[in-house]
Amino acid sequence: GAGVSQTPSNKVTEKGKYVELRCDPISGHTALYWYRQSLGQGPEFLIYFQGTGAADDSGLPNDRFFAVRPEGSVSTLKIQRTERGDSAVYLCASSRTGDNYGYTFGSGTRLTVV
């Protein structure tokens, strides 16, 4: 597709449930990033993939959060035992390796944990 696609656009879940958020990057982009944006804050880095491997997962807040990118394209962010504090907009971005012009973000998934 022309841009980064994220599904679903909105997700409401109950505390303690498991959720999966999907990201379809721009075709040919080898780098993929997940960020989280809480209300009134800027995007906060979670994890960065180069191809299929996680090159940097230092932003994942705890072991309830996990992300995969098995074929080097689509990525899934998985959150176990969701908590109310996980409520945020989860943003995915992709870029060509060596791109000097910043990467392209998707519109995000708004996750609400009730």
Partner 1 sequence: DQQVKQNSPSLSVQEGRISILNCDYTNSMFDYFLWYKKYPAEGPTFLISISSIKDKNEDGRFTVFLNKSAKHLSLHIVPSQPGDSAVYFCAASRNYGGSQGNLIFGKGTKLSVKP
Q: Residue from 79, 91, 111, 113 that binds partner 1 (CB under 8 A)?
A: 91
DSSP-derived 3-state class of residue 35: strand
Should residue 1 be labelled a site residue for partner 1 when binding is judged by CB under 8 A? no
**Selected range binding partner 1 among 12-20, 61-69, 73-81, 106-114, rule: CB under 8 A:** 106-114
- Asked whether position 83 contacts partner 1 by CB under 8 A, the answer is no
Q: Which of 92, 78, 79 is nearest to 32 (CA)?
A: 92
User: Binders of partner 1 among 21-40, rule CB under 8 A?
Assistant: 31, 33, 35, 40
- Asked if 94 contacts 103 with a C-beta cutoff of 8 angstroms, the reply is yes
Q: Residue 111: which H helix or E strand, with range?
A: strand 109-113
Distance of CA 71 to the CA centre of its chain: 16
72: contact with partner 1 by CB under 8 A: no
Is 59 buried (19+), middle (13-18) or exposed (0-12) by CB count in 10 A? middle
- We find the least distance from the C-beta atom of residue 98 to partner 1, in angstroms, to be 6
DSSP assigned state of 81 = S
Q: Which is nearer to partner 1, 16 or 85 (CB)?
A: 85
Q: Which of residues 38-67 bind partner 1 (CB under 8 A)?
A: 40-45, 48, 56, 59
Judged by the rule CB under 8 A, the positions of this chain that interact with partner 1 are 4, 31, 33, 35, 40-45, 48, 56, 59, 91, 93, 95-108
